[in-house]
Structure 1
Amino acid sequence: MTDDGLGWYGVRCVFRWNDREHRPYEERITLWRAASAAQAIELAEREGRDYARDNRFEQLNFAQAYSLSEDRITQGTEVFSLLRDSALKPDAYLDNYFDTGGEHQAR
């Protein structure tokens, strides 16, 4: 938190694209200066409504906030982290949550 009472927050929101064949989901992380995680989510959701409307996407009303531990954003600053308990082994975990084969990504 800085002297002005504001900190940096990474907020992940989820959208669904309606104009593509398989209607992919998008996880989008944006950065916000806010007094709390709740305020950062409010700001991200407001911006997300515009993003969804402008692109004809569906906003899924799901947001998670992460408080950045650093006040200055620099190269390599962690902007989001999420811990998840799972009994899956590493390869199965990645296949289940992150590498399903349906991702649109550069490799």
Structure 2
Amino acid sequence: MTDEPWYGAKCIFLHADLQSENGRVYEERVVLIKAKNLDEAIERAEKEAKEYAQNLEGCSYLDFVNVFHIYDEPIEDGTEIYSLMRDSKLSENKYLNRFHDTGNERTKK
């Protein structure tokens, strides 16, 4: 076992072959990365993202990565693996509607 820290890395993809009536299909994907530092975590996450996209027909990596350092050890049930804090003047409902609940997500409520 190494002493390298864990990171949660979110990358964004376009699935061109999955066009829908609501438009293009984008994927926000979070993976766990073990790296010596933030720069290495970004490098590894981008490499993994490119490989992921290459293995899926019609999928392209949009060259966007956001990395979160995971401070909890060991990683177990309930461990925070990704977090993004954003400043906004939007109300709670408007914030959720704009960024997380547009009605076009492919998730269960």
- For the aligned residues, what is the CA RMSD? 1.3
> Where does the alignment leave 5 or more consecutive residues of structure 1 unmatched?
none
Counterpart of 2:60 (choices 48, 58, 61) is 58
Counterpart of 1:82 (choices 77, 81, 84) is 84
Q: Percent identity?
A: 37
What is the TM-score normalised by the length of structure 1?
0.92
Q: CA deviation at 1:39?
A: 0.7
What is the TM-score normalised by the length of structure 2?
0.91
The answer to whether the aligner puts 1:25 opposite 2:23 as a matched pair is no
Q: CA deviation at 1:23?
A: 2.7
Q: How does 1:32-51 map to 2 (within 5 A)?
A: 32-51=33-52
Q: Distance in 1 between matches of 2:16 and 2:47?
A: 20
Q: Name 1:9's counterpart in structure 2.
A: 7
What is the aligned length?
105
> Where does the alignment leave 5 or more consecutive residues of structure 2 unmatched?
none
Structure 1 runs (4+) greater than 2 angstroms displaced: none
Q: Distance in 2 between matches of 1:7 and 1:42?
A: 15
